[in-house]
Structure 1
Amino acid sequence: MAEILPPVTDGKTKAALDALAKRHRAASGVGMQVLTYLGGTAEGLLAKLPAPIRGGLEGATAQALETAFHAASRSRGLVEDRPDWVNTTLTTAMGAAGGFGGLPGALAELPFTVTMLLRAIQGIAAEHGFDPASEEVRVECLRVFASAGPLARDDGSDMGFMTARMTITGASLNSLIARVAPKLSAVLGQKLAAQAAPVLGAVAGAAVNYSFTSYYQEIAHVHFGLKALARDLEQDEGLLREELIARITRKT
C-alpha cells in the first residue's frame, strides 16, 4: 500500500508552492496565443506534416537530444549563462531564419534550437543552486523536455511523469532519451508544421520559437524551483510535487 503523506501546512511553503503553480499555469499562455494566431489546433498542425517527416521525427528528435546533451554542457565552459530574455531573443531569431526557409529550413534549425533550449535549462538549474556539470542535474535538465509543450494545455500530470515515473540515472542516458523523444517529437512536430505554414514563414518561425523558449524556461524554473524548495526547507520532494500538482489542477 502506498504511503499516505500529510498535507503541507507551513505558511512559507504554501506561498512558495502557490507561486510555482501560478508560474506553471502561465507557461502555456504565449504558446496558446500563437496557436490561435495560426488558426488551428495542435493536432491539426501535426497532421499537416508530410508522412515521411512525421515517421522520422522521433528518431530525429532522439538524435537532436543526444547531440544537444553534450553540446550544451560543453558550451558552459565557453559561454556564461544568459538571462531568460537573451535566450528567448536568440532562439526567436533562429526560428525566423528557419521559418524563412520553409520546412527544410525549419528542419535544419531544429537541433540548434534544442541545444539552445537545453543550455538555457542548464543555466536555470545553476540559478537555483544546482551544478549543471553533475550527471544527475544534466539528466534532470533533460526531464524538463518531458512536459506537455507550449501548444498544449498541461494539467500538471506531465510534471508527475517527468519526476516520478522516470527513475533513470545518468548512466542510462540513452534509455532516458528513448523515453523523452516520443513526447518531445510530437511537440517539435507542431513547431515544424507551424514554421512551414504558407505565407507566414519567418513570422511564424519567430513566434513559435518565442513561445517554445518562454515555455521551457518557465517549466525549468518550476522544476528546479520545486527541487530547491525541498532542499532548502528539508521537506519531502514527492510530497511537495503532489501538493504542486493539486494547485495546478485546482479550479480558480
Structure 2
Amino acid sequence: MEVNYADSPDHHSSNENAPDSKLSPASVDELREAKQTLEHHGIADRLTELVGAPVTASLRLLPDVAENAVYAAIEKSLTVALDVALRTLGDDSVKSGKPRLLTHKLLAGLSGAAGGALGGATIAAELPVSTVLILRSVADIARSEGEDLSEVEARLACLEVFALDSGNQSGVEDDTEFGYFAVRAAMAKQIRDASQYVLKNGMSNTTAPPLVKLVAKIGERFGLVVSEKLAAQAIPVIGAFGGALINSYFIDHYQDLARAHFTIRRLERAHGKAIVEETYNGFQS
C-alpha cells in the first residue's frame, strides 16, 4: 500500500495540544514492524522451531481432570497477575531506563526448568510464577514506551498483552476477527468496566464481576497459548533444560508482543488512533 503521510493543511488542527496526525516515515516503519510481530508471530511456530515438530494442542483433548486443573491454573495465574497489576505496577520504583528483560527471562527459565524436570503436574505452581514474571517484563516495556502506570487503564493494558497472541484462536468464543485491533475492540468493554470499577471502588476486591469478566476474556486466548506450551513440555525428551528453553521462548514471545502493542499505543497518543489504525490495516498482510 502507498501510505498517505497527510501533508495537506486539512490534516492539521489549530489546537497545539491535539495529536499530530502526520505519520513520519520512521513511524510508518515502526507500525509495519509492529504488525509483523503481532499478526505473524504465534508461539506455536516458535515452539515448533525449538522442539523440531509441529506443536498444536487443545485443552479439550486432555482428560477432564487434567483439563480442569489447567483451566484452574490459568484462572489463578491471571487473577494473581491482575492483583499484581492493580496493586504494584503503578508503585514500582523503576520508572524509566532499560527494561529488565534479561533478568525476567532468566527467572522464567529457572521456573520452566523446574516444570520440565518434574513434569506437567507442576503447572498449578509454575504457571502463576511465569505469568507474573511476564507481566513485570511487559510493564517495563510499557514504561519504556511512555506509559504512565499510575493510570489504571495503562496497567490493564499490560494485562491485555496476554490476549494478543496471533495463533489459532478457534477456541475463542468471539464473533470478531482476530487481528490486533479486532482483539482490542473485543477487549475494550471489559477493560473499560474494570477500570471504572477500580477507580470507583479501589483495588481490594479482585473477585468483583467486572474484574472476573476481564480475567475470563483474557483467559480464553491465554489458555490456547498455554495449551501449546504444555504440549511442547509434554514431549518426553524435553526435561529440565527443555523446560527452561520453552519458558524463555514463552516470555520472549510476550515481550515481543508487548513491545509492538505499546509502540502502537505510543503512536496513537502522538498521532491519534484513527490514522494509526488506518495505516496499520493498509499494510499488506
Question: How does the TM-score come out when normalised to structure 1?
Answer: 0.80
> CA contact under 8 A between 1:98 and 1:107: conserved in structure 2?
no
Partner residue of 1:91? 108
| 3-state SS of 2:211 partner | helix
Deviations 1:20-48 (A, max 9, x none): 234446744x8624324434433247577
What percentage of residue pairs aligned between the two structures are identical?
A: 26
1:141 maps to 2:179:
no
Indicate whether 1:189 and 2:202 are aligned. Answer: no
- 5+ residue gaps in structure 2? 7-22, 170-176, 198-209
Is the 8 Å Cα contact of residues 73 and 124 (structure 2) preserved in structure 1?
Answer: no
State the partner residue of 1:216.
254
- Decide which structure has greater helix share: 1
What SS class does the counterpart of residue 162 from structure 1 fall into? helix
| Alpha-carbon offset, residue 147 of structure 1 | 1.5
Which has the higher mean CA deviation after the structures are superposed, 112-121 or 156-165? 156-165
**Hey, what does 2:240 align to over in structure 1?**
202
User: Which residue, 79, 98, 117 being the options, matches 1:66?
Assistant: 79
Structure 2 counterpart SS, 1:93:
helix
Write out per-residue CA displacement over residues 203-234 of structure 1, whole angstroms, 9 at most, x where no aligned residue.
221122111111111111111111111212xx
User: Match for 2:54 among 19, 38, 41?
Assistant: 41
Q: Distance in 1 between matches of 2:164 and 2:184?
A: 10
What amino acid is the match of 1:160?
F
Residue 183 of structure 2 corresponds to which residue in structure 1? 162
CA deviation after TM superposition for structure 1 residue 174, in Å: 2.0
Distance 1:45 1:165, change over 3 A: closer
- Aligned match of 2:279 in 225, 243, 248? 243
Matches of 1:16 and 1:37 in 2, distance apart? Answer: 28
Residue 133 of structure 1: how far off its partner (Å): 3.0
Give the Cα separation in 1 of the matches to 2:71 and 2:222.
8
- The alignment partner of 1:133 has SS state of coil
CA 33–241 in structure 1, closer or farther in 2 if over 3 Å, else same = same
CA–CA distance in 2 between the matches of 1:197 and 1:32?
Answer: 16
Whole-Å Cα distance in 2 between the matches of residues 98 and 243 of structure 1? Answer: 42
Gaps of 5+ in 1: 1-5
Whether contact under 8 Å (2:119, 2:234) holds in the other structure is yes
Relative to structure 2, which stretch is displaced further, 77-86 or 59-68?
77-86
The 3 A distance-change label for structure 1 pair 26 and 115 is same
Q: CA deviation at 1:161?
A: 3.2
Deviations 1:39-68 (A, max 9, x none): 443324757744422244334312211111
Distance apart, 1:91 and its partner CA: 0.7
Distance across 1 between alignment mates of 2:228 and 2:147: 31
In 2: Cα distance, 1:8 partner to 1:174 partner = 42
3-state DSSP of counterpart to 2:188: coil
1:122 to 121, 139, 145: 139
TM-score of the aligned structures, taking structure 2 as reference length: 0.72
Tell me, yes or no, if the aligned pair for 1:144 and 1:223 is still in contact at 8 Å: yes
**1:143·1:162 contact (CA, 8 Å) conserved in 2?**
no
Q: What SS is found at the alignment partner of 2:236? A: coil
Structure 2 CA distance for partners of 1:219 and 1:159, relative to 1, 3 Å: same
- Per the alignment, residue 32 of structure 1 pairs with 45
Choose 1 or 2 for highest CA Rg. 2
SS at match of 1:191: helix
Equivalent pairs, count: 238
How far is the alpha carbon of 1:14 from its aligned partner? 2.0
